[in-house]
């Protein structure tokens, strides 16, 4: 999947812009505060239905305006698909896919897989397990058709169980819901286990290039005792859950634990190394998605390439090249990106005070 064109209206400092990006690498260059990240943020909005900088829609809508609107034409096989998303300050969302109103943002997400690589992205490793669960779930959303509905059912059942726990209901009342929670929880967990085992060797291969000094191990924790069945864990933990008012164990606690030299990576690696490992993890998801389903994801790389040394930048460029994915990279100075321009289908855009101009085709 690639964007054939993109239009932004009243998005951050961009009043109106239209881009016809290259199918390969697109460089967005401009001074601080010019609007480079806003372009990436807009593409992210199309794929995720949300920003990676704020959860408040009002922050993204141009000051003084009531709504932002994004349009894109996506390439799909030999065809193209128009999509549109508009959000108002009062919280209304309008979504159109192929000229028809779509109800769920997931409809758009399905056709537009996006990977974001940005300087704060290392919190995937230093932050809580929720982020690593989301990492696994991103992959499952695209590779296992049944995952999204299993995940939705599990969330509803868990919410219900926690509400009963807060009401101090007796175990026999939960007894009605628990078998359903267990069934869907185990289904979810086996999806995750399968994905974690499949993605780990792909990450290791890429990380061996970026960080050859480490050998990483990946350990999937499903969210409850390895030896025990979920039904038993819920039953035995009931009194404690009742005291806490929530369910302490289950797939909602799952995560992937990454170690090197016997230590959790977040305690061992430097910040720069953590960033490289996250970059390897994101590239691995793109590579795996492509190998499994033939689907391309779009890479958004915000202000990151400039942080890499020349050799690492070359490695990143080579991997992106191998993927053949559409890439949008922001930087302050084009010189920081010269090494990224390795493909003939690259374009350079200058961004200045919210105005975007395609300046030249990169050789």
β 114-117/298-302 pair status: parallel
In angstroms, rounded to a whole number, what is the distance separating the alpha carbons of residues 260 and 240?
34
17/280 with CB nearer ligand ATP: 17
36/313 with CB nearer ligand ATP: 36
88/217 with CB nearer ligand ATP: 88
34 annotated to bind ligand? yes
Q: Closest approach of Cβ 315 to ligand ATP, in Å?
A: 24
Centre a 10 Å sphere on the Cβ of residue 363 and count the other Cβ atoms it contains.
Answer: 6
Chain-centroid distance, C-alpha 300:
10
Q: Closest approach of Cβ 23 to ligand ATP, in Å?
A: 23
β 298-302/327-331 pair status: parallel
65/137 with CB nearer ligand ATP: 65
Let me know: does 251 contact 192? Beta carbons within 8 Å. yes
What residues are paired with 226 via a beta bridge? none
34/115 with CB nearer ligand ATP: 34
Q: Closest approach of Cβ 12 to ligand ATP, in Å?
A: 4
Q: Closest approach of Cβ 200 to ligand ATP, in Å?
A: 33
Token representation of residue 75 = 């390439």
Task: Write out the H or E segment, with its range, that includes residue 314.
Answer: helix 310-323
84 annotated to bind ligand? no
Task: Write out the H or E segment, with its range, that includes residue 156.
Answer: helix 147-166
Residues in contact with ligand ATP, shown as a per-residue x/- string from 293 to 332 under the rule CB under 6 A: ----------x--------------------------x-x
Q: Closest approach of Cβ 346 to ligand ATP, in Å?
A: 19
Residues in the chain: 363
* Residues from 9 through 38 that contact ligand ATP (CB under 6 A): 12-13, 30, 32-38
28/136 with CB nearer ligand ATP: 28
33 annotated to bind ligand? yes
Token representation of residue 6 = 């993109």
Chain-centroid distance, C-alpha 298:
11
Binding segment toward ligand ATP, per CB under 6 A, in 57-65, 126-134, 206-214, 306-314: 57-65
Nearest to 282 by CA among 123, 114, 131: 114
Size of the site for ligand ATP (CB under 6 A): 18
* Under rule CB under 6 A, residue 62 binds ligand ATP: yes
* Residues from 185 through 204 that contact ligand ATP (CB under 6 A): none
Angle, helix 310-323 to helix 271-293, in steps of 10 degrees: 10
32 annotated to bind ligand? yes
179 annotated to bind ligand? no
Query: Residue 107: helix, strand or coil by DSSP?
Result: helix
Q: Closest approach of Cβ 64 to ligand ATP, in Å?
A: 8
294 annotated to bind ligand? no
Q: Closest approach of Cβ 181 to ligand ATP, in Å?
A: 42
Token representation of residue 309 = 């040394």
Binding segment toward ligand ATP, per CB under 6 A, in 18-26, 55-63, 159-167, 193-201: 55-63
13/345 with CB nearer ligand ATP: 13
Chain-centroid distance, C-alpha 155:
20
β 216-221/100-101 pair status: unpaired
In angstroms, rounded to a whole number, what is the distance separating the alpha carbons of residues 15 and 102?
25
Query: Residue 326: helix, strand or coil by DSSP?
Result: coil
Token representation of residue 323 = 């993927």
* Residues from 147 through 186 that contact ligand ATP (CB under 6 A): none
189 annotated to bind ligand? no
118/192 with CB nearer ligand ATP: 118
21/223 with CB nearer ligand ATP: 21
Centre a 10 Å sphere on the Cβ of residue 153 and count the other Cβ atoms it contains.
Answer: 17
Nearest to 57 by CA among 28, 31, 94, 30: 94
Name the residues that contact ligand ATP, by CB under 6 A.
Answer: 12-13, 30, 32-38, 59, 61-63, 303, 330, 332, 351
Q: Which residues are annotated as a binding site?
A: 30-37
Q: Which residues are annotated as a binding site for ATP?
A: 30-37
């Amino acid at each position: 999947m690639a964007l054939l064109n993109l239009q932004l209206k009243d998005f951050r400092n961009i009043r109106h812009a239209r881009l016809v990006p290259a199918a390969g690498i697109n460089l967005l260059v401009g001074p601080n505060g010019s609007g480079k990240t806003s372009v990436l943020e807009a593409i992210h909005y199309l794929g995720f239905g949300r920003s990676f900088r704020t959860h408040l829609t009002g922050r993204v809508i141009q000051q003084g305006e009531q709504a932002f609107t994004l349009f894109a034409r996506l390439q799909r096989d030999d065809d193209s698909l128009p999509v549109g998303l508009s959000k108002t300050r009062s919280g209304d969302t309008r979504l159109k896919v192929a000229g028809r109103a779509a109800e769920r943002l997931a409809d758009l997400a399905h056709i537009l897989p996006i990977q974001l690589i940005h300087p704060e992205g290392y919190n995937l490793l230093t932050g809580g397990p929720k982020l690593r669960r989301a990492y696994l779930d991103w992959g499952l959303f695209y590779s296992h058709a049944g995952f999204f509905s299993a995940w939705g059912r599990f969330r509803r059942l868990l919410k219900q169980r926690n509400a009963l726990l807060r009401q101090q209901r007796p175990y026999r009342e939960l007894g009605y819901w628990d078998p359903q929670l267990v069934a869907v929880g185990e289904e979810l967990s086996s999806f995750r286990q399968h994905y974690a085992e499949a993605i780990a060797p792909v990450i290791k291969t890429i990380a061996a290039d970026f960080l050859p000094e480490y050998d990483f191990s990946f350990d999937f924790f499903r969210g409850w005792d390895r030896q025990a069945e979920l039904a038993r864990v819920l039953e035995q933990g009931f009194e404690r859950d009742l005291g806490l008012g929530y369910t302490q164990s289950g797939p909602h606690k799952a995560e992937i634990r990454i170690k090197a030299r016997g230590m959790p990576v977040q305690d061992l690696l430097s910040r720069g190394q953590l960033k490289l490992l996250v970059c390897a993890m994101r590239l691995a998801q793109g590579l795996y998605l492509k190998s499994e389903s033939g689907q391309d994801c779009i890479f958004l790389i915000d202000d990151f390439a400039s942080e890499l040394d020349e050799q690492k930048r070359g490695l990143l460029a080579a991997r992106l090249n191998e993927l053949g994915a559409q890439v949008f990279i922001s930087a302050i100075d084009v010189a920081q990106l010269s090494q990224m321009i390795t493909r003939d289908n690259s374009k350079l855009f200058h961004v200045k005070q919210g105005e975007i101009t395609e300046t030249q085709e990169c050789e």
